[in-house]
Structure 1
Amino acid sequence: MPGTLFGVGLGPGDPELITLKAARLIAATPIIAYPALPGTESIARNIAATHISASAHEIRLDIPMTRDRAPAQAAYDLGAARIAEALDCGQDVAFLCEGDPFFYGSFMYVHARLAPHHTVEVVPGVASVMAAAARAGLPLTARNEVFAVLPAPLDDKTLRGRMESANSFAIVKLGRHMPRVRALLNELGLTGRAHYIERATLPDERAVPLSDAPQSAPYFSMILVTKGADPWL
């Protein structure tokens, strides 16, 4: 019988936010796969480290972060082929993914390659947006309000329009886009309603009003904005 591929969401970084199901599967699965930036430790593996069996075989996928998508796609092709070989030999594989596998998760690229011909089960995890809201103490949306998740690399016109149409929103993938995102929020008069969170739930996390945020931001950071249409009372 072919093995099963488990796409395991690990949550935003705090190992205590791994679900019971995820912890059980990681401990019991003989092959553990995970992504990493070339030349660095895998964030996903570090989150799950205490649950990985000493006897587990590991498949590391070195995924380059470049504007050209071709190198990353080639890396996913190679990783999926290695995982498929194990599945075809009857071995289960747990693919570790920070956050939730289907919310900007690296697992979706492996899923697209393997799901048509293999049994796949997805284990959801705590998404970074939910973790950031919790750490900032900021309710995101209520009743009939519209909440949006906006990638910072969107062009200015599109980003401004989405900001204007949503009642509350998260801006993710800040990185080098931080200065222009701040400028757009300031133009719309939303700086006072914006919160900045980086590395949510990790020991070096920062959660402050946007006005107190640094001028530059790491990739693992976001801005949460609520316009205050509903006071949640």
Structure 2
Amino acid sequence: MHRVLRRIFPLAAVASIGGALLINQVGALAYTPGSTGYDISFPQCGIQYPGGRFGIVGVDGGYPFVHYNPCLADQYARTPNAAVYINTGYDPLYTQVDGKHTTFECLLQSLFAPGSAAQRAAWAVGCSEASRSMAYATSQGAGNPGGWWLDVETGNSWSSSDLSLNQFTIQGIVDTLLRRSSAPVGIYSTAYQWRSIVGSRRVSGAVADWVATGSTSFAGVEATCSASFSGHPVRLVQYLRDGLDADYACRS
């Protein structure tokens, strides 16, 4: 996951999950309050994994469609109460049905989505990002995670001239994950990055925020639990601990 300072229509109902997650809200990524975990991906291949009550493992290799985390199978198998995250982005190149980007299935599904032709194409991009990431996760034994998190950051490609294309892309990811999986969906970002990418537009179907801080100290982490960027409850706050990403589960 690229780190801060370094890291259309809902198609399915979201089911609640157990393990280190509390079944106290249907469809909410509600981690045990006050617990800590970690997130890892391809940069952590070959290192000793950190400890924690839960973990979130990256599926992709930093960008959608490009390459995937070669250590996903091992990292996921060794992670307690594991969820996964996928990288996201929009680029006109991604709308090509070329065997690497937009899938034919998602292109067909986008014909039933609302919006302009460009917005429907963006929805198909998101649908394809989800489809390809889910296929890889399944091939690595990570196809049934405790939750799906979307890594939404300015470091990846996005439209700067029409933010609705970014919104439709993210919506396509969420819709596809919810249609194909019973696990809930949350979003990882910051207030600045979220506004830069989607503006004030809403994405439906996601149920939780995971806020990146870039802080090397735990001080102030709990206060960030009230800093929602999308309007969803903040469930996790990310900070740095011993050079790795640590995540705090909010109490409210």
Common fold: TM-score over 0.5: no
Q: Which TM-score applies when normalising by structure 2? A: 0.28
TM-score by structure 1 length? 0.30
Indicate the structure with greater strand content.
Answer: 1
Q: Which has the higher helix share?
A: 1
